[in-house]
Amino acid sequence: MKPPRIPKQQGFVLILTLCILAAITIVAGYFGLRMQQSLQLAQMRQTLNDKQIAISNTRAEILFRLCTTHLSQYGLGVPKGEIALDDRPYANEGTTVQLQDARGLIAINYIDDTQLYNFLGVMQVPVDQRHHLIDTLHDYTDADDLRRLEGAESAEYAAAGLPPPRNMPLVSPFELKSIIGWRDMPSLWQDPSVTEFVSVGAIAPINPNTAPWQVLAALPGVTPALAKAVVARRKLGPIDVALFEQLTGTNQSTFPPQAVAYPSDGVRITQRAIGMPWAIRYNLRLTPLSSISPWQIGYYYRIEDKSDPASANNVANSSEIPQLPARSVVSAAPSVLPFQ
């Protein structure tokens, strides 16, 4: 007995039904994937917003502290409750914040040639290139178009296809990237780069309590070994100029002084959030006598920070990072400003 034959029409309907079901499955999967991606993007935006809010809250807290807390040799505030101004990190609301006294940095617009020569040596610039970098820096920042012996003015920048020098003081450490010689010197842009040790403020003396050893080694007669010894010694307590001279065997009490063991009215602030590939950095100067604002921000920019959040450079989630100290009681303003 022959099996019953399926009508051709019924076979066509079956195939059409299977095709429709397959199409529905594909479309449903596509929209499901899009919904999942949209949900992930929304969560990422929410996380980013939360981190930016945390950074903003910490920024407001630091600005409040700077305007209401006295400066001292210990940093910002009283001993055992102070915020150090040597760029060490503090944790706050899932972020880290670092305060660096501007007097602990190289004042690149005002440093004398001897200190700059020493500093370039610390940054591993070859001896035969240091005078070239000094001259190109001066040519870039001075008001004239007269070329120094190893410098570069408008003609040299035009020949290199670069914008001409601004003939004004630098407005940001990253402007060093625009200067002939500086932009082409690899050792200046390794980690840590030259921008970590440079300020553009008008603060020339160096504070031995807040400067990294690379900056201290720029002072006359101070070797890298002596500078590292000073950094190790100040962990026991603040160092005055007399002790600094005793530790290094140098005389920094000339006029104008090469070292001043007290913070300035300028501070560089660096903020990070856990898991973010960037940090923000801005330079702030206290102006309590101004009729406009209690502070001024000289520059503000974002820096790449691809290090592991648990590493030494970005340790907002590490138990080794101390929390931002609690606020101290705000007392009446003294008759003499603490940073004078």
Q: Is residue 1 part of a domain?
A: no
97 shares its domain with 243 = yes
Kindly give the interhelix angle for 224-233 and 241-248, rounded to the nearest 10 degrees. 140
Q: Is residue 5 part of a domain?
A: no
The CA–CA distances, whole Å, from 258 to 114, 250, 261, 287 equal 12, 11, 10, 24
Last residue of a domain, one of 172, 187, 222: 222
Within 10 Å of residue 94's Cβ, how many Cβ atoms?
A: 17
52 shares its domain with 183 = no
In this predicted structure, the answer to whether residue 4 has a pLDDT above a threshold of 70 is no
The CA–CA distances, whole Å, from 298 to 97, 117, 164, 282 equal 18, 26, 23, 7
Mean pLDDT, residues 205-223:
95
Mean pLDDT, residues 237-241:
92
> Six-digit token pair at 165?
């020098």
In this predicted structure, the answer to whether residue 214 has a pLDDT above a threshold of 90 is yes
165 shares its domain with 97 = no
Mean pLDDT, residues 330-340:
45
Q: Which amino acid type is present at position 93?
A: E
What's the helix, strand, coil split of the chain in %, to 5?
40, 15, 45
CA nearest to 98, candidates 234, 230, 284 = 284
pLDDT of residue 318: 54
Last residue of a domain, one of 187, 202, 222: 222
In this predicted structure, the answer to whether residue 156 has a pLDDT above a threshold of 70 is yes
114 shares its domain with 215 = yes
Q: Is residue 335 part of a domain?
A: no
CA nearest to 89, candidates 272, 266, 326 = 272
Kindly give the interhelix angle for 113-122 and 127-141, rounded to the nearest 10 degrees. 130
Strand partners, 75: 72
The percentage of residues in the chain with a pLDDT greater than 70, rounded to a whole number, is 89
Specify the 3-state DSSP secondary structure of 76. Answer: strand
Q: Domain range holding 201? A: 106-222
Report how far residue 216's alpha carbon sits from residue 223's, in angstroms, rounded to the nearest whole number: 8
Within 10 Å of residue 18's Cβ, how many Cβ atoms?
A: 10
CA nearest to 203, candidates 162, 150, 263 = 263
Last residue of a domain, one of 222, 245, 266: 222
Specify the 3-state DSSP secondary structure of 187. Answer: helix
In this predicted structure, the answer to whether residue 143 has a pLDDT above a threshold of 60 is yes
Q: Is residue 43 part of a domain?
A: yes
Total count of domains within the chain: 2
In this predicted structure, the answer to whether residue 58 has a pLDDT above a threshold of 70 is yes
In this predicted structure, the answer to whether residue 274 has a pLDDT above a threshold of 50 is yes
Contact 261, 209 (CB under 8 A): yes
264 shares its domain with 210 = no
Report how far residue 291's alpha carbon sits from residue 306's, in angstroms, rounded to the nearest whole number: 41
| Edge-to-edge strands, sheet with 86-92 | 86-92, 95-101, 266-273, 278-286, 295-304
Residue 216 is part of a domain; what is its CATH number?
1.10.40.60
Contact 234, 209 (CB under 8 A): yes
Helix (H) or strand (E) holding 107: strand 106-107
∠263-268-272 over CA atoms, to 5°? 135
117 shares its domain with 192 = yes
pLDDT of residue 331: 52
Mean pLDDT, residues 173-187:
95
Mean pLDDT value across the chain: 86
In this predicted structure, the answer to whether residue 17 has a pLDDT above a threshold of 70 is yes
55 shares its domain with 78 = yes
Give pLDDT tens digits for 95-113. Answer: 999 999 999 999 999 999 9
> Six-digit token pair at 222?
């101070």
Mean pLDDT, residues 131-143:
96
Strand partners, 3: none
The percentage of residues in the chain with a pLDDT greater than 90, rounded to a whole number, is 59
100 shares its domain with 235 = yes
Strand partners, 99: 269
Contact 267, 46 (CB under 8 A): no
76 shares its domain with 96 = yes
210 shares its domain with 81 = no
In this predicted structure, the answer to whether residue 308 has a pLDDT above a threshold of 70 is no
213 shares its domain with 110 = yes
pLDDT of residue 6: 55
Please tell me which of 17-21, 123-127, 201-205 the model is most confident about, judged by mean pLDDT: 123-127
Higher pLDDT, 171 or 318: 171
pLDDT of residue 116: 95
In this predicted structure, the answer to whether residue 31 has a pLDDT above a threshold of 50 is yes
pLDDT of residue 336: 43
154 pLDDT tier (thresholds 50, 70, 90): very high
